[in-house]
Amino acid sequence: MGKHYDTLVVGPISLDINIDYQENEEREIGGAVVQSGWAAARSGAETAIFTKLSSADADAEQIFAGSGADVFSKDAPRTTSIHNKYFTADKERRECRALGQCEPFTFDELPDIDTSIYHFAGLMVGDFGAELIRKASEKGAVAVDVQCLLRTVMPDGSMQFFDYAEKKDVFPYITYLKTDAAEAEILTGLSDRFEAAKVLYSYGAKEIMISHNTEMLVYDGKDFYTSPVKARSLVGRSGRGDTTFAGYLVERLHAPVGEALQYATALVSLKMETPGPFKGDRQQVLDYIKEFY
């Protein structure tokens, strides 16, 4: 019997060019798979990561060195790359442009491992197709951040968000669905997060997470759960949603919804104090809960 993993985080590495509101430029290795993979592994979960990138651009093993995750990767002709322009100090407003995109992921190229959760952490439309999600659901619980189903690269490289035409066909294969408030409104037409969560649940996903800069919300079809974000600093704001979702997923494997959500919001509150992915540990998060929750 091979090793069992709690989660397999799948998604493209991104070469990010970040311009802050003062026009300072920083280049870094990013992507939802980086933020999510580190958050899951450092929370103590048995974590596997599958990513694709050009070996000429970066080394996947090095990116996750020290995380505790097992890394699987595939050399690709090109690496995803995104240019982010932030307009405010808190990084709440930004403009994103795609400079390149890795080719789509397929189920057959995923590592042949036993995992409880397939966590699809993509960046834009084209990363994951409906067939990949359907096939993964036959092997384990599927978790999807809808950003990669809505954020579309336009001919000029700009990225715009559009409704997901296949949502009623694909969402029934998803156990854990994550959106932010704006994405939830695009999918449902509703600005009220609680009402939007009900509609998203009616489309077939089993647990709906909607992130917001003040609190995180989860709806499981019966009850609503919320937990406030209590960050002491926003310097590490980038990757907030990815960190929250990954923390929730791995905690949810052994805890009820409310406890898992509190862990996830404490995790992201702590993470936001430092740029980059979360590199602390589970005990630090538990200590943060005792002090601030």
Alpha-carbon gap, residue 73 to 217, rounded angstroms: 33
pLDDT at res. 28:
86
pLDDT at res. 20:
83
CB 275 within 8 A of CB 238: yes
CB 98 within 8 A of CB 81: yes
DSSP codes of every residue in 61-109: HHHTTTS--EEEEEE-SS-EEEEEEE-STT--SEEEEEEE-PPPB-GGG
Alpha-carbon gap, residue 94 to 131, rounded angstroms: 32
* Closest-CA residue to 174 (of 151, 211, 149): 149
Separation in Å, CA 97 to CA 19, 87, 253: 12, 14, 36
pLDDT at res. 220:
98
CB 200 within 8 A of CB 184: yes
Phi, psi of 215 (to 5 degrees): -160, 160
pLDDT at res. 277:
96
Q: Where does residue 39 rank: exposed (0-12), middle (13-18), buried (19+ CB within 10 A)?
A: buried
Alpha-carbon gap, residue 166 to 288, rounded angstroms: 40
pLDDT at res. 1:
54
CB 193 within 8 A of CB 217: yes
pLDDT in tens, the chain (293 residues): 579 999 999 999 999 888 888 888 888 898 999 999 999 999 999 999 999 999 999 999 999 999 999 999 999 999 999 998 888 877 767 788 999 999 999 999 999 999 999 999 999 999 999 999 999 999 999 999 999 999 999 999 999 999 999 999 999 999 999 999 999 999 999 999 999 999 999 999 999 999 998 999 999 999 999 999 998 888 888 889 999 999 999 999 999 999 999 999 999 999 999 989 999 999 999 999 999 99
pLDDT at res. 25:
87
